[in-house]
Amino acid sequence: MKKNLTSGWSRRRFLQAGSGLLATSALHFGYSKTALAKAIGQALPQFTALRPAQKGILTAAHWGAFEAIIENERMVGVQPVSDDPAPNELIAMAPWQVYAPNRIKTPMVRKSWLENGPGSHAERRGRDEWVAVSWDKAIALVSTEIKRLQQDYGPSAIYAGSYGWKSTGMLHNCRALLQRLMNLCGGFLSYSGDYSTGAAQVIMSHVVGSMEVYEQQTSWPNVLEHSELVILWGCNPQTTLKNSWNVPDHVGLEGFAQLAEKGVRTIAIDPIRQPGAKALNAEWIAPHAYTDSAMMLGIAHTLLSEQLHDEAFLKRYTVGFDRFRASLLGEDDGVVKNAQWASAICGVEAETIRQLARDMAQKRTMIMAGWGIQRQHHGEQPHWLLVTLAAMLGQIGLPGGGFGFSYHYSSGGSPTARGGIISGISAGEAPQNAPAPIPVARIADCLANPGKTIDFNGRQITYPDVKMVYVAGGNPFHHHQDTNNLLQAWRRPETIVVQEPYWTATATHADIVLPCTTSYERNDLDMGGDYSRLYVFPMRQCVAPQHQARNDFDIFRAIAARLGVEQAFTEGRDEMLWLKSMYDNMKGQARTAGVALPPFDMFWQSNSYIRFPVPEANKQWVRFADFRADPLLNPLGTPSGKIEIFSQRIAAMQYPDCPGLPGWLPPQEWHGSPLAERWPLSLNTAHPALRLHSQLDNTPLRAKHAVANREEILINPQDAARRGIRSGDLVRAFNSRGQILVGALVTEDIRPGVVRISEGAWYDPADPTQPGTLCRNGNVNCLTVDIGTSMLAQGNCGHMAQLEIEKYQGDAPPNMAHAMPSGVV
C-alpha cells in the first residue's frame, strides 16, 4: 500500500465503497430499487431527498457537482449531476486536473536554502536549482523552521493567512488546516477582508450595517414576478455564476435565463458588452472605466431635479440625505453634479443618464451590481452611491425592487432550503498574543516595510517583521497586484513554504514545496448552494493520490506530530471519522428542521447526494422587507439604525480619500489623469469565463480562449487601428510597472479607450533575474497598481491601471508558464 494514503482504514473503506459499488451495480445504479433502499424509504419518507449517482463516483468542485467516470482506476470522464440546471463545462477538466503534467511530484527544497539555511540567496527564488527530498526530511525542515521562528520572534513572524480559493471540501480545507496547526503552535499573522469585496464589505457595514455583499438576496422567484427593470451595473453573471465558493447550485444562471425568457428589460452598464449581456438582450451603456461614481451622481441629480425621488422613504429610512442633496446641488464645492457634468467624466451622453434615471424611477427596478467597480481606487464610493440611488428610488424592501450585490456571485437569491449545514473543520482559537491581522491586499507592503503604520477603518495597523510565509490554497503570484513589486517584497522573508498540486509561479518562487493531492484523490463533504444550502454532496475519492502527493490534512498532521500537537490537531479522528462527525452534526440540525436523514455509513455507501426541500415562504423572501415594515423594531446595524447616506462615524475618521458623504473622487489612474497622456488606455481585469482565477489555466480549456498562445486582450477597433493591431496579433501591453505578452481580439464589444485582460494567467517571466521583465503568458497583475482603495477599507485596486499597447515585434518567445521548472521532472 502506498505510504501517502491517508490511513489503512479509510483506504479500505474507499475500496469497499468504491470498487465494491462498481462490482455490485445493484447498490450503485439502481439504488432506489434495492431492498435496502426500500427499507430505508419506508422508515424515512424524506429519504427521497437522496439522489443516487448514475454512472460514476460522486464528487464536486467550485465548478459544480459531478460523477467521475473511472476506468481501470483512472478518471476518464465526468457527468454533471442530474439536478444541475446549468452544468458548467469546466467540470470536464477534472481528469486534466488529476493528470496535469505540471503536478508537483515530490517534496522539493531550493538549493541555496537547503545548503546554506533560511534566507540564503533569496533573490534566487524563481530560478535556483531544486533538490528533491523525502517527506520525512521535508516535514522535519518545515517543523524546525516553525519552532525556530516562534522561539526567536513569536507569532507575528509567521504569515499564514494564506488567502485563496483552494478546492471545495469541508475537511480538506487547506487554509483552515494551516491556521489550525499554527494556532496550536503559538499563533500567526493573519489577514482581514478579501480580494473580492475589499472596499464594498467595509463601506457597507457603515452604510447598511452588514457586509451586505455576502447576504442572501431577494429571492429569484420574487424578482421574476415583480422586477420590471434590471440594471446590471458592472455585473457579468453569466460568467461569474459558473463557479461558487461552495459547490454551485447554478440557480442564478437559471434565474437569468428565465429573466431573458420573460423579456424583462435589462440594462448592462459596463465598458464591455459581455456575452451574457447579449444573451439577456440587455441594452448596453458603456461608461469609461472607473468613472461610475460620477455617472451615479448624474442619475441622482436628475432624480432630485425632476422630483422623482421618494422623500418619504428617505425621511423614514435614511440619514444624511440633506447633506447629499446639498452636495448634488454644488452647495459644498460649487460643482453641480448634474447629468451634463457626469457626462463629461464618464463619457455617457447626458440624455442617456437622464433617461436612465427616469426609467429607474418609473419601473420596479432591481439594481444588481458586481464587484469589479469596487476593486478600484476609491472603490468604496460606487456601492455607497448605488445604495443611495436605491434609497432615492424608495423601492428597498419591496418585492423585486432595491439593490442586490450578490446576484452574480454563488447564486445569491437562490431561495434558502430547510435542512442542515455542514460546518467544516475549524481553524481553532488564536492564542492571546496573536498579532492583529493586516488588510489582506497590503501583504506585499507589509513584507517590504516592517514597522510601517497604516490607517485602516478607524484604526492603525503596524506591520510586523515577517520571516516566514506559508501558502496553502492560494496563488499570490496571480492574485496580488503589481507582481514586480511583489517579487521584490517576496525576497524579504527567510522562508517561504508553498503547498500546492501544481508548479504555479508561487510554487516556483518558494523555498520548500510540498505536493498535495487534488480534491479528487481524497474523501470529503461540501454544501451545494452558498446561499440556498440546498445540497450536501459527498466528495468521494475517485483515484489514488498521484505521484508522492499527500492530503493537506496529512501534511499538517505530520508537522503537528513533530511539534508535539498531533492529538490536538486531529482530535483523534482520521479522514472518515471527521466526515462522519460533520455529517452527524448536519444530520442533527436537519432533524430539528424536520428532515430525517440516513446514518452516515448508509449515506456514504449509497453514492448519493442530499437535496433539501425549499419552503414556499423562502421563495418569496425580500431583502430588507422586515426593516421596511418596521425600522424601529428591525433596525439596521448602523449607528442610526437606518441607511447612512452620510456617516458620522466615517466623517470622524477624517480620511481625505473617504469622507463622510459618498461622491466622485477621481482615482489615481484614469483617462482624465495627467499620466493618461503617456498611458492612454484603461485596463479592465474581469474574471475569466473559462477559469477560476488561475485555476485551470494549465488545462486544454485554455485553447478555447488563448490568442496566439497567450492570454487574450480585447481591443476596440479604433484603438487597434491606431496601433496597426489586428485580431490574432501578439501584443505587448505595458506601463511603468511591467510588461506582458497578450494576444489581440479586436472587437466592438469594448468601448474605445478601454482594454480587457482577464485576471488569472500564470506568471511566466522571460528573464527571472529581472523584476520588470516581459511576462510571456500575460499575467495582468504585472500592470496593476498595489495601493489600497482608501484609508477606510484598504481593499485592492486590481481593476484600475492605465497602460499602452503595441504590436509585438520580433520572434514570439516560448510560453513556459505551465512547464516544469528547469531541471525538475
Ligand X SMILES: Nc1nc2c(c(=O)[nH]1)N[C@H]1C(S)=C(S)[C@@H](COP(=O)(O)OP(=O)(O)OC[C@H]3O[C@@H](n4cnc5c(=O)[nH]c(N)nc54)[C@H](O)[C@@H]3O)O[C@H]1N2
The residues assigned a catalytic role are 163, 165
Residue 189 binding partner per list Mo ion, ligand X, none, with a CB distance cut-off of 5 to 8 Å that depends on partner kind: none
Is 220 annotated as ligand-binding? Answer: no
Residue 514 C-beta: closest distance to ligand X, Å: 8
Helix ranges, 347-475 (H): 350-362, 380-393, 443-448
**Distance from C-alpha of 504 to C-alpha of 500, rounded to nearest angstrom:** 8
The reply, when asked if residue 281 is annotated as ligand binding, is: no
Sign of dihedral through CA atoms 756, 759, 765, 766?
A: negative
What is the x/- site pattern for ligand X, positions 116-155, by CB under 6 A? ----------------------------------------
Has 102 been labeled as part of a binding site? no
Which does residue 695 bind out of ligand X, Mo ion, none, counting CB within 5 to 8 angstroms by kind? Answer: ligand X
292: partner contacted, choices Mo ion, ligand X, none (Cβ within 5-8 A by kind): ligand X
Q: From CA 278, how far away is CA 61, in angstroms rounded?
A: 28
**Torsion angle, CA of 293/294/299/301, rounded to 10 degrees?**
120
Fill in the amino acid letter for 606.
Answer: S
| Binding residue (CB under 6 A) for ligand X from 80, 87, 234, 660 | 234
Rg, the chain, Cα only: 27
Nearest Cα to 427, choosing from 167, 174, 169, 61?
174
Candidates 256, 490, 502, 604; binder of ligand X (CB under 6 A) is: 502
Closest CB to ligand X among residues 647, 698: 698
| 522 is an annotated ligand-binding site residue | yes
What are the Cα distances from residue 158, in Å, to 297, 488, 495?
Answer: 45, 18, 9
Chain centroid to CA 525:
20
- Residues 258-284 as b/e (b if ≥16 CB within 10 A, e otherwise) read ebeeeebbbbbbbbbbbebbeebebeb
Check if the beta carbon of residue 314 is closer than 8 Å to that of residue 351.
Answer: no
HEC readout, 518-548: CHHHCCEEEEECCCCCCEEEEECCCCCCCCC
Binding of ligand X by 406 (CB under 6 A): no
Counting contacts by CB under 6 A, is residue 474 touching ligand X? yes
Question: What is the total residue count of the chain?
Answer: 825
Q: How far is the CB of 670 from ligand X (least distance, A)?
A: 9
- The only residue of 371, 556, 624, 627 in contact with ligand X, by rule CB under 6 A: 371
Say what angle helices 8-23 and 575-592 make with each other, to 10 degrees.
70
Which residues touch 334 (CB under 8 Å, ≥6 apart)?
A: none
Rounded CA-CA distance 739/730 in Å is 13
CA-CA distance, 469 to 477, in Å (whole number)? Answer: 13
The interface partner of residue 621, options being Mo ion, ligand X, none and the CB cut-off 5 to 8 Å by kind, is none
Q: Does 236 bind ligand X (CB under 6 A)?
A: yes
Of 516, 543, 643, 744, the one binding ligand X (CB under 6 A) is 516
Q: Is 552 annotated as a binding residue?
A: yes
Q: Confirm whether residue 585 is marked as ligand binding.
A: no
Q: Between 421 and 460, how does the x/- string for binding to ligand X read (CB under 6 A)?
A: ----------------------------------------
Q: Which three cell numbers stand for residue 105?
A: 511530484
Q: In the bound complex, what is the minimum distance in angstroms from residue 238's beta carbon to ligand X?
A: 9
The cell for 9 is 482504514
The reply to whether 187 sits near ligand X by the rule CB under 6 A is no
Contacts of residue 576, defined as CB under 8 A and 6 or more positions apart, other chains included, come to 9, 10, 13, 523
In this chain, which residue has its C-beta nearest to Mo ion? 196
Residue 166 contact among ligand X, Mo ion, none, beta carbon within 5 to 8 Å by kind: ligand X
Q: Is 479 marked as binding a ligand?
A: yes
| Whether 550 contacts 515, CB under 8 Å | yes
Q: Which is nearer to ligand X, 435 or 795 (CB)?
A: 795
Choose from Mo ion, ligand X, none: what does 772 bind? Cβ within 5-8 Å by kind.
Answer: none
C-beta closer to ligand X: residue 27 or 138 = 138
Q: Pick the closer one to ligand X by CB: 13 or 693.
A: 693
Rule CB under 6 A: is residue 394 a binding residue for ligand X? Answer: no
Minimum Å gap between C-beta 538 and ligand X is 17
408 belongs to the binding site for ligand X (CB under 6 A)? yes
449 touches 436 (CB < 8 A)? no
Q: Is the dihedral of CA 288, 290, 292, 297 positive or negative?
A: negative
Nearest approach, Cβ of residue 330 and Mo ion (Å): 37
Which of 409, 531, 646, 664 binds ligand X (CB under 6 A)? It is 409
Q: Pick from ligand X, Mo ion, none: which does 627 bind, CB < 5 to 8 A by kind?
A: none
Applying the rule CB under 6 A, the residues between 528 and 587 that interact with ligand X are 552
d(CA 785, CA 796): 9
Q: Which three cell numbers stand for residue 690?
A: 473559462
Q: Using CB under 5 A as the criterion, which residues of the chain lie in contact with Mo ion when the complex forms?
A: 196
Helices (H), 654-760: 702-705, 717-722
Tell me the one-letter amino acid at 102.
Answer: N
262 φ/ψ sector (left φ>0, alpha ψ -120 to 50, else beta) = alpha
Among the candidate windows 266-274, 428-436, 585-593, 703-711, which touches ligand X by CB under 6 A?
Answer: 266-274
Nearest approach, Cβ of residue 526 and ligand X (Å): 12
- Name the DSSP class of 498: E
- Please report whether residue 780 would count as binding ligand X according to CB under 6 A: yes
Distance in Å, CB of 687 to Mo ion, minimum: 8
- Our measurement of the distance from residue 588's CA atom to the centroid of its chain's CA atoms, rounded to an integer in Å, reads 31
798 binds ligand X (CB under 6 A): yes
Site of grid cell 451586505:
212
Least separation, in Å, of the C-beta of 196 and Mo ion? Answer: 3
d(CA 230, CA 215): 19
- Evaluate whether 443 touches 493 at the Cβ level (below 8 Å): no
Residue range at the interface with ligand X (CB under 6 A); choices 329-337, 562-570, 591-599, 681-689: 681-689
Nearest distance from C-beta of residue 626 to ligand X, angstroms: 27
- Return the residues of window 684-703 that contact ligand X according to CB under 6 A: 684-689, 691-695
- Considering only residues 84, 145, 292, 380, which one is a binding residue for ligand X as defined by CB under 6 A? 292
**DSSP assignment string, 90-144:** GGGGHHHHHH-TTB--S-EEEHHHHHH-TTTTGGGTTTS-EEE--HHHHHHHHHH
246 binds ligand X (CB under 6 A): no
Q: Mark the segment that binds ligand X (CB under 6 A) among 24-32, 286-294, 310-318, 540-548.
A: 286-294
Minimum CB separation from ligand X for residue 27, in Å? 29
The residue (of 327 and 506) whose beta carbon lies closer to ligand X is 506
The partner in contact with residue 236, picked from Mo ion, ligand X, none with C-beta cut-offs of 5 to 8 angstroms by kind, is ligand X
In the list 125, 180, 242, 751, the residue contacting ligand X (rule: CB under 6 A) is 242
Kindly state whether residue 239 participates in binding ligand X, applying the rule CB under 6 A: yes
Burial of 433 (0-12, 13-18, 19+ CB in 10 A): exposed
- Restricted to residues 716-745, the positions that interact with ligand X (CB under 6 A) are none
Q: Which stretch binds ligand X (CB under 6 A): 12-20, 159-167, 321-329, 584-592?
A: 159-167
What are the binding residues? 165, 375, 475, 479, 522, 552, 781
Positions touching ligand X (CB under 6 A) are 164-167, 172, 174, 195-196, 234-236, 239-240, 242-243, 269-272, 274, 287, 289-290, 292, 370-373, 375, 408-409, 472-475, 478-479, 481, 499-502, 504, 516, 519, 552, 684-689, 691-695, 759, 780-781, 784, 798-799
